[in-house]
C-alpha cells in the first residue's frame, strides 16, 4: 500500500456516506446520525494523517493518478502543502458542525436528506481542494454549490426560498464565467491538467488571452468568495440557511470555493502579475471596510455575522494580495482562524435561535444568566474576530498589518486597523444586547442547549483561545508548507511533473 | 389538453401511449447498453427511460404511473444506482488504483467489450432514469396536494 | 472566429436576461441560454475541418476525427445545466406557491 | 455556412425568448434555441451530444411548461430602468470587445491543437476496448469527472426532494 493511496478516500468516504444515508436513513433509526459522525471523524483523521504523510514526502508533494492514467492524459490528484492545510480546515469545521447538527436539526423535518446534502457538500469541497485537473475542479465546485443552494432553502420558508433562488442564480452565473474561462484556456493550451497547463502557458506568448481569462476567473471566483462588488447574495443566503449550514457556508465554503480556487489558479497556473496583486489588494481592502460599515447598522444577529464574513474575506485577500511570504502567511492563517471563530459565532446564533427562538438582537438580553456556555463561547469568538490579544484573530491580523507596513502600504495597514476597531464596536453591541444587561421576563425558564451543541461550541472556543500556538516552531511547518506552494508560483508545474514521473 | 391530473388525457392518447411506451423504454435500454459502441450512453439512455415514464404519467395521470413506481422506490433505486457506480469505481482498487478498468477488454465492436465501461453505463442509466422520474413525480405530487389544499 | 463571436453574443443575450428581467421564469430561461452558449462555444473549439465523429468504424480507418475531449466535457456540462435548471424551477414553484407570483418586484427580499 | 445560419437563428430565438411577454411563448422560444443547438452539435460531428441535448431539452421543456402553464403574469418595469439597462449593455459591449481581441489569439476555427487528445485517438480503442472515443474518455480516461457528474445529478435530485417537501420545520410547541 503506497502512502498516496489514502488520497482518493477524501472523496470516497463522504460520497459513500451520502449514498448510504439516502438509501438507509429512512428505514434504520439513527443510521444517518451514526454514518455522518463516523464519516466526519474518519475525514478529520485522514486529513491530519495527510499532514504527517506530507512531512515525510521528499518533495512535499504527492500525486495520485486516477485510473492509472498518467497526467495529462488522465485526471490526477495532488496533495501538497496548501491542499493539506485546506483539507484540515474544511474537515475540522465540518466535524464540529456535524456533531452540532445532530441535535440542532431536530427543529427541521427529514434529517436524512439534510445529512445527505451536508455530506455531498463536504465531498464537493474535498474534491475541489484535492484535484489537480482544471475541469475536475469545476465539477466538484458545482457539487458543493448545488448542495449549498438546496441547503439554504432547507427550511422551505418564503424568505429562505428567495435567498436560495438569488444565491443559485448568482452562483450559476459565476459558474458560467468560470466554465468560459476554462474553455478559453483549453482552446489555447489544449490540455486540462493544471501542471501541464502552467507549463504550456509559461512558454507560449500571448497578449490578450491571459488578462481576459483572469478577468473571467476573477468575476467567477469573486462571486463565489463574495468580494465586495460581487457580494450581493451573501447577506441574504447565509442568514437564511439553518445555523449549522451558515457556519459551513461562512466558515469554509466561501474559502474553499472562492479563495482557495482563485489563489490556486492565479498563483500556480496563470502566474501573478503586479497589476493583479494590486487589484486583489484593493478589492480586499474595499470589502474589509465597506462590509464592516454595513454590518454596524444590522440588528439581525445572523445578518450581522454575514456582513462580517465579507469583511474578514477582505482581510484574507489583502494578506494574500501583498504577495510577500509574510503577507501570504498572514492571509492563510487568518483564513484558518476565521473559519474557526466565524463558524463558532454562527453556531452560537443557532443555539440562541434553538433556545429562545429569535435572531433579533433587540429581543434578546441577559442571556448569560441562562445560557452560560453559549455566552462564554460567543465572548471568546467575539474577542477573536475583533483581534484582542491572546486570541487567534489578533495574531493573524497583526501579521497582515506588519506585512503591509513592511511592503510600504501604510494606507492599507491603516484600513485594516480601522476595520478591526469597527469590528470590535460591532461585536460590543452584540454582547451588550444579547448576553449582558437585564434578563427579559419571558426568558427565565430557558434551558441551555443539548450536549452535542455545547461540545462543538466549547471545542471551537478552546481552539480559538489556543490558536496562537500555530505560530510556534513545531506547528509552523503546517502553515509554512502552504505558503511555500504559493511562493513557488508557476514552478508548481515542474514540481508536480517531477513527482508524476517518479 | 390535460383534463384532470387524476385520469389523464383522452382515449386516443392513451391507446397510442400503450403502444409506444414500451418501445421508448426498450430504446432507452438499447442506448444504455450500446454506449461504448454507438453514440449515446448511460446518461442519454437514462433520460429516455425517464421520458418513457413521464410519457405514461402525462397520458394516464399520476395514480397509474405512481402505482408502477413510487417516489420512495424511485429514490431508493437512485441511491442504489449511485452506489453501483461508486462500486465500479472502487473495483479499480483490485488492480491497485481508484477507477482502474480492471476487467478484460474483450474484442471491440461487440456488446461485451470494454471492461467496466458497460457496468458504469448501466449504473448511470438506472440512476439518471429513476432520478429524473423522481423529480417529475415530486413536482406533480406537489401541484396535486396544492389543488387539494385549495379545494 | 466569426462563429466564436456569435456564440459569445448569444452568451450576452442570456446574461442580459438574467441581469435585467424581473420574472423568475425569465431569469431561469436566461440562465438556460447562457448554458447553451457556453456548451456550444466549447464544442466549437474542438471542431476540425472535414473531421469525422469520434467513433471508430469496423471496416475503415478514420484518420481525422474531431476533438473528443470537449464533447466529453460538454456532456458533463449539459448534466450540470439540467440539475441546476431543475433545482431552480422547483424553488421557483415553491416561491410562486408562497406569493402567488413569479414577478420579482412583488417579492420583497429579491429586489435590488 | 449552415452554422452561421443556425447561430443567427439561435440568437434571434433567444432574444424572442427573453423579450416576449407571454411566458409560455417564451418557454417555447427557448425550446427552439435548444433544438437548434442540437442540430449544431450534429453538424459539429458530436452525435453523443446531439442525442443528449435532444432528450434533455425535451425533459426541460416538459418541466418548464408544467411549471408555467396556467400561471401567466404581467411583466413589471422597474424604476431606474434606463440606467440599469444602459449599464448592462455597456458591460456587455466591453466584454465582447475584449473577447474579440482574445479570440484572435485562439487557434483559428477548425484547426484545434489537440495535444493531449492525440493519444486518446491513437490508443483509445486498444487501451479501453470502447469504440466510441467519447465514451472511452468519459468512462475511462476521465471517469472521475463522470463520478462527479453523476453526483451532481444525485445532489440536485435530493435537493429538489428537500425543497419540495412539506412541512419544512417541525411545529414549535
Rounded to an integer, what distance in angstroms lies between the CA atom of residue C107 and that of residue C101?
8
Write out pLDDT tens, residues B70-118: 778 888 888 899 999 999 888 888 877 787 777 777 777 777 777 788 8
Rounded to an integer, what distance in angstroms lies between the CA atom of residue A269 and that of residue A376?
44
- Determine the pLDDT at residue D77: 47
Task: Check CB contact of C70 with chain A, cutoff 8 Å.
Answer: yes
Rounded to an integer, what distance in angstroms lies between the CA atom of residue B71 and that of residue B83?
18
Residue with cell 463565489: A224
Q: Is residue A435 domain-resident?
A: yes
Cis peptide before C61 (omega within 30 of 0): no
Of C5, C19, C101, which is closest to D88 when you measure between CB atoms? Answer: C19
Of D62, D131, D147, which is closest to B37 when you measure between CB atoms? Answer: D131
Query: Distance of alpha carbon B111 from its chain centroid, rounded?
Result: 20
Q: Which three cell numbers stand for residue A493?
A: 508545474
D114 vs A190: CB contact, 8 Å cut-off?
yes
DSSP 8-class letter at A63: E
Write out pLDDT tens, residues A391-428: 888 989 999 999 999 988 899 999 999 999 999 999 99
A19 vs D154: CB contact, 8 Å cut-off?
yes
Rounded to an integer, what distance in angstroms lies between the CA atom of residue A22 and that of residue A3?
31
Tally: H helices and E strands in chain A: 20, 2
DSSP 8-class letter at C86: H
Residues of A in contact with D142 (CB under 8 A): 74-75, 135-136
Closest residue in D to A192 (Cα–Cα): D116
Rounded to the nearest angstrom, the minimum Cα separation between B82 and chain A is 7
Higher-pLDDT residue of A437, A221: A221
Helix (H, G, I), strand (E, B) or coil at A275: helix
Q: Are residues D135 and D173 in the same domain?
A: yes
Helix (H, G, I), strand (E, B) or coil at A193: strand
Q: Are residues D64 and D32 in the same domain?
A: yes
Closest residue in D to B117 (Cα–Cα): D139
C75 vs B146: CB contact, 8 Å cut-off?
no
Q: Which domain covers residue D165, as residue numbers?
A: 112-173
Mean pLDDT lowest among A15-29, A101-115, C1-15, D61-75: D61-75
Higher-pLDDT residue of B101, A202: A202
How many CB atoms are closer than 10 A to CB A286? 17
- Give the 3-state secondary structure of D81-100: HHHHHHHHHHHHHHHHHHHH
List, in order, residues 6 or more apart from A229 with CB less than 8 Å away. Answer: A222, A283, A286
- Determine the pLDDT at residue C107: 64
Q: Is residue A451 domain-resident?
A: yes
CB-based contact A469:A337 (threshold 8 Å) = no
How many CB atoms are closer than 10 A to CB D72? 11
Cα diameter, chain A: 72
Q: What is the ipTM of this complex?
A: 0.93
Of A163, A168, A192, which is closest to C87 when you measure between CB atoms? Answer: A168
- Determine the pLDDT at residue A19: 92
Write out pLDDT tens, residues B30-76: 999 888 888 888 889 999 999 998 888 888 877 776 677 777 888 88
Beta strands in A71-148 (DSSP E): 76-80
A108 vs D165: CB contact, 8 Å cut-off?
no
Write the CA distances from C60 to A371, A419, C51, C63, integer angstroms: 78, 70, 15, 9
List, in order, residues 6 or more apart from A486 with CB less than 8 Å away. Answer: A82, A263, A267, A268, A320, A328
Closest residue in D to B104 (Cα–Cα): D129
Rounded to an integer, what distance in angstroms lies between the CA atom of residue A198 and that of residue A214?
14
D140 vs B117: CB contact, 8 Å cut-off?
yes
Q: Which three cell numbers stand for residue C75?
A: 456532456
C75 vs B43: CB contact, 8 Å cut-off?
yes
- Determine the pLDDT at residue B94: 81
Q: Are residues D55 and D41 in the same domain?
A: yes
- Determine the pLDDT at residue C19: 86
Q: Are residues D1 and D67 in the same domain?
A: yes
C31 vs A162: CB contact, 8 Å cut-off?
no
The pLDDT of A161-180, averaged and rounded, is: 92
CA angle (A246, A249, A253) in 5-degree steps:
165
Rounded to the nearest angstrom, the minimum Cα separation between A264 and chain D is 19
Write the CA distances from A426 to A295, A372, A398, A471, integer angstroms: 7, 21, 20, 28
Write out pLDDT tens, residues B112-140: 777 788 888 999 999 999 888 888 888 88
Classify domain C2-48+64-106 by CATH architecture: Orthogonal Bundle (1.10)
Q: Which three cell numbers stand for residue A293?
A: 460599515
Taking alpha carbons only, the member of A242, A100, C67, B120 closest to residue D134 is C67
D154 vs B75: CB contact, 8 Å cut-off?
no
DSSP 8-class letter at B34: T
Give the residue numbers in B contacting A (CB under 8 Å), as ranges: 72, 75-76, 78-80, 82-83, 86, 89-90, 92, 95-101
Rounded to an integer, what distance in angstroms lies between the CA atom of residue B66 and that of residue B75?
13
Sequence spans of domains, chain C: 2-48+64-106
A150 vs D119: CB contact, 8 Å cut-off?
no
Closest residue in B to A65 (Cα–Cα): B97
Write out pLDDT tens, residues A128-152: 999 989 999 999 999 999 999 999 9
What is the number of structural domains in chain A? Answer: 1
Q: What percent of chain C has pLDDT over 90?
A: 44
Write out pLDDT tens, residues A346-401: 999 999 888 888 888 888 877 888 888 888 999 999 999 988 888 888 989 999 99
Chains B and D form CB pairs within 8 A to the count of 132
Q: Are residues D28 and D47 in the same domain?
A: yes
Of A8, A19, A65, which is closest to B82 when you measure between CB atoms? Answer: A19
Q: Which three cell numbers stand for residue A287?
A: 470589502
Rounded to the nearest angstrom, the minimum Cα separation between D158 and chain A is 7
Task: Choose the mutation target among D162, D166, D172 for the interface with A, i.e. most A CBs under 10 Å.
Answer: D162
Q: What percent of chain C has pLDDT over 70?
A: 89
C68 vs D41: CB contact, 8 Å cut-off?
no
Closest residue in B to D45 (Cα–Cα): B39
Q: Is the pTM of this model over 0.90?
A: yes
- Determine the pLDDT at residue D96: 92
Crossing angle for the helix pair A111-130 and A9-24, to the nearest 10 degrees: 170
Rounded to the nearest angstrom, the minimum Cα separation between A15 and chain D is 8
pLDDT of D117 strictly over 90: no
- Determine the pLDDT at residue A467: 81
CB-based contact C100:D72 (threshold 8 Å) = no
Q: Which three cell numbers stand for residue A11?
A: 472523496
Written as one string, the DSSP assignment of C51-79 is -B-SB--SSS----B--HHHHHHHHHHHH
Q: Which three cell numbers stand for residue A246?
A: 451558515
Taking alpha carbons only, the member of A399, A376, A398 closest to residue A389 is A398
For chain B, what's the residue count?
A: 151
Write out pLDDT tens, residues D121-148: 887 777 777 788 888 888 888 889 999 9
What is the number of structural domains in chain D? Answer: 3
Q: What percent of chain A has pLDDT over 90?
A: 50
D23 vs C102: CB contact, 8 Å cut-off?
yes
Of D51, D62, D150, which is closest to B54 when you measure between CB atoms? Answer: D62
Closest residue in C to D80 (Cα–Cα): C112
Write out pLDDT tens, residues A303-346: 999 999 999 999 999 999 998 999 999 999 999 999 999 999 99
Write the CA distances from A213 to A137, A172, A219, integer angstroms: 16, 18, 10
DSSP 8-class letter at A437: S
- Determine the pLDDT at residue A101: 92
Write out pLDDT tens, residues C38-66: 999 999 998 888 888 888 777 777 778 88
Write out pLDDT tens, residues D139-173: 888 889 999 999 999 999 999 999 888 776 775 54
Residues of D in contact with C93 (CB under 8 A): 67, 164
Rounded to the nearest angstrom, the minimum Cα separation between D118 and chain A is 10
Rounded to an integer, what distance in angstroms lies between the CA atom of residue A150 and that of residue A116?
11
Helix (H, G, I), strand (E, B) or coil at C23: strand
List, in order, residues 6 or more apart from A474 with CB less than 8 Å away. Answer: none
Q: Is residue A76 domain-resident?
A: no
Give the residue numbers in A contacting B (CB under 8 Å), as ranges: 8, 12, 15-16, 19-20, 22-23, 26, 64-68
How many CB atoms are closer than 10 A to CB A190? 23
Write the CA distances from D103 to A25, A187, C7, C11, integer angstroms: 51, 10, 11, 15
Q: Which residues pair with A193 in a beta bridge?
A: A133
Rounded to an integer, what distance in angstroms lies between the CA atom of residue A157 and that of residue A153?
8
Amino acid at each position: 500500500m503506497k502512502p498516496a493511496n489514502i488520497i482518493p478516500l477524501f472523496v470516497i468516504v463522504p460520497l459513500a456516506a451520502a449514498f448510504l444515508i439516502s438509501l438507509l436513513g429512512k428505514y434504520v433509526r439513527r443510521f444517518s446520525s451514526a454514518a455522518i459522525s463516523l464519516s466526519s471523524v474518519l475525514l478529520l483523521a485522514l486529513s491530519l494523517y495527510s499532514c504527517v504523510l506530507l512531512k515525510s514526502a521528499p518533495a512535499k508533494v504527492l500525486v495520485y493518478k486516477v485510473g492509472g492514467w498518467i497526467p495529462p492524459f488522465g485526471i490526477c490528484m495532488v496533495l501538497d502543502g496548501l491542499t493539506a492545510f485546506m483539507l484540515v480546515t474544511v474537515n475540522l469545521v465540518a466535524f464540529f458542525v456535524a456533531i452540532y447538527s445532530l441535535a440542532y436539526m431536530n427543529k427541521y423535518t427529514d434529517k436524512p436528506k439534510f445529512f445527505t446534502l451536508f455530506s455531498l457538500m463536504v465531498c464537493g469541497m474535498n474534491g475541489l481542494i484535492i484535484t489537480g485537473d482544471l475541469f475536475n475542479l469545476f465539477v466538484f465546485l458545482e457539487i458543493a454549490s448545488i448542495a449549498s443552494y438546496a441547503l439554504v432553502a432547507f427550511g422551505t420558508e418564503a424568505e429562505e426560498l428567495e435567498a436560495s433562488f438569488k444565491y443559485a442564480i448568482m452562483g450559476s452565473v459565476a459558474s458560467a464565467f468560470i466554465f468560459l474561462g476554462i474553455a478559453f484556456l483549453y482552446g489555447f493550451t489544449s490540455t486540462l491538467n493544471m501542471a501541464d497547463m502552467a507549463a504550456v502557458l509559461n512558454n507560449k506568448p500571448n497578449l490578450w488571452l491571459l488578462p481576459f481569462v483572469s478577468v473571467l476567473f476573477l468575476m467567477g471566483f469573486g462571486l463565489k468568495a463574495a468580494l465586495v462588488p460581487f457580494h450581493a447574495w451573501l447577506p441574504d443566503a447565509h442568514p437564511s440557511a439553518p445555523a449549522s449550514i451558515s457556519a459551513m457556508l461562512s466558515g469554509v465554503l466561501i474559502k474553499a470555493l472562492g479563495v482557495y480556487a482563485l489563489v490556486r489558479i492565479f498563483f500556480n497556473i496563470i502566474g501573478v502579475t503586479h497589476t493583479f496583486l494590486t487589484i486583489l489588494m484593493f478589492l480586499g481592502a474595499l470589502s474589509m471596510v465597506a462590509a464592516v460599515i454595513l454590518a454596524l447598522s444590522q440588528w439581525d444577529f445572523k445578518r450581522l455575522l454575514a456582513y462580517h464574513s465579507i469583511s474578514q474575506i477582505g482581510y484574507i485577500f489583502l494578506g494574500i494580495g501583498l504577495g510577500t511570504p509574510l503577507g501570504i502567511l498572514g492571509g492563510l492563517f487568518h483564513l484558518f482562524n476565521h473559519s474557526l471563530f466565524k463558524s463558532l459565532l454562527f453556531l452560537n446564533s443557532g443555539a440562541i435561535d434553538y433556545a429562545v427562538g429569535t435572531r433579533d438582537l433587540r429581543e434578546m438580553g441577559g442571556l448569560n444568566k441562562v445560557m452560560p456556555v453559549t455566552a462564554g463561547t460567543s465572548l471568546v469568538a467575539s474577542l477573536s474576530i475583533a483581534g484582542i490579544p491572546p486570541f487567534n484573530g489578533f495574531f493573524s491580523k497583526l501579521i497582515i498589518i506588519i506585512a503591509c507596513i513592511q511592503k510600504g502600504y501604510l494606507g492599507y495597514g491603516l484600513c485594516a486597523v480601522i476595520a478591526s476597531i469597527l469590528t470590535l464596536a460591532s461585536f460590543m453591541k452584540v454582547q451588550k444586547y444579547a448576553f449582558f444587561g437585564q434578563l427579559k421576563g419571558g426568558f427565565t425558564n430557558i434551558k441551555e442547549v443539548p450536549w452535542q451543541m455545547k461540545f462543538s461550541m466549547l471545542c471551537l472556543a478552546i481552539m480559538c483561545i489556543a490558536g496562537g500556538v500555530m505560530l510556534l516552531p513545531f506547528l509552523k511547518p503546517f502553515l509554512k508548507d502552504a505558503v511555500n506552494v504559493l511562493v513557488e508560483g508557476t514552478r508548481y508545474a515542474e514540481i508536480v511533473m517531477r513527482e508524476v514521473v517518479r | 389538453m390535460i383534463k384532470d391530473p387524476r385520469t389523464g388525457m383522452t382515449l386516443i392518447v392513451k391507446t397510442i401511449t400503450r403502444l409506444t411506451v414500451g418501445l421508448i423504454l426498450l430504446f432507452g435500454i438499447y442506448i444504455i447498453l450500446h454506449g461504448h459502441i454507438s453514440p449515446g450512453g448511460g446518461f442519454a439512455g437514462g433520460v429516455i427511460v425517464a421520458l418513457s415514464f413521464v410519457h405514461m404519467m402525462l397520458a394516464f395521470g399520476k395514480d397509474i404511473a405512481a402505482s408502477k413506481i413510487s417516489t420512495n422506490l424511485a429514490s431508493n433505486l437512485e441511491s442504489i444506482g449511485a452506489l453501483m457506480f461508486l462500486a465500479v469505481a472502487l473495483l479499480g482498487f483490485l488492480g491497485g488504483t481508484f477507477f482502474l478498468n480492471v476487467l478484460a477488454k474483450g474484442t471491440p465492436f461487440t456488446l461485451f467489450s470494454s471492461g467496466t465501461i458497460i457496468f458504469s453505463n448501466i449504473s448511470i442509466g438506472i440512476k439518471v432514469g429513476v432520478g429524473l422520474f423522481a423529480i417529475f413525480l415530486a413536482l406533480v405530487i406537489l401541484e396535486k396536494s396544492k389543488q387539494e389544499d385549495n379545494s | 472566429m466569426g462563429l466564436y463571436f456569435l456564440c459569445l453574443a448569444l452568451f450576452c443575450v442570456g446574461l442580459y436576461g438574467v441581469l435585467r428581467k424581473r420574472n423568475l421564469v425569465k431569469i431561469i430561461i436566461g440562465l438556460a441560454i447562457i448554458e447553451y452558449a457556453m456548451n456550444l462555444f466549447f464544442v466549437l473549439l474542438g471542431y476540425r475541418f472535414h473531421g469525422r465523429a469520434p467513433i471508430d468504424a469496423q471496416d475503415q480507418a478514420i484518420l481525422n476525427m474531431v476533438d473528443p475531449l470537449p464533447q466529453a466535457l460538454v456532456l458533463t456540462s449539459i448534466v450540470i445545466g439540467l440539475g441546476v435548471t431543475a433545482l431552480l424551477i422547483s424553488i421557483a414553484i415553491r416561491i410562486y406557491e408562497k406569493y402567488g407570483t413569479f414577478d420579482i418586484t412583488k417579492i420583497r427580499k429579491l429586489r435590488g | 455556412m449552415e452554422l452561421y445560419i443556425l447561430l443567427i437563428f439561435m440568437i434571434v430565438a433567444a432574444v424572442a425568448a427573453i423579450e416576449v411577454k407571454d411566458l409560455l411563448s417564451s418557454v417555447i422560444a427557448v425550446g427552439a434555441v435548444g433544438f437548434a443547438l442540437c442540430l449544431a452539435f450534429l453538424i459539429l460531428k458530436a452525435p453523443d451530444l446531439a442525442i443528449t441535448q435532444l432528450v434533455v431539452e425535451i425533459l426541460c421543456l416538459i418541466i418548464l411548461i408544467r411549471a408555467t402553464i396556467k400561471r401567466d403574469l404581467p411583466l413589471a418595469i422597474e424604476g431606474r430602468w434606463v440606467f440599469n439597462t444602459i449599464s448592462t449593455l455597456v458591460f456587455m459591449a466591453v466584454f465582447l470587445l475584449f473577447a474579440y481581441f482574445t479570440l484572435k489569439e485562439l487557434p483559428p476555427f477548425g484547426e484545434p491543437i489537440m495535444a493531449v487528445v492525440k493519444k486518446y485517438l491513437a490508443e483509445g480503442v486498444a487501451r479501453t476496448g470502447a469504440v466510441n472515443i467519447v465514451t472511452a474518455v468519459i468512462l475511462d480516461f476521465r471517469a472521475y469527472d463522470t463520478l462527479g457528474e453523476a453526483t451532481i445529478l444525485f445532489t440536485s435530485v435530493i435537493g429538489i426532494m428537500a425543497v419540495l417537501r412539506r412541512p419544512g420545520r417541525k411545529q414549535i410547541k
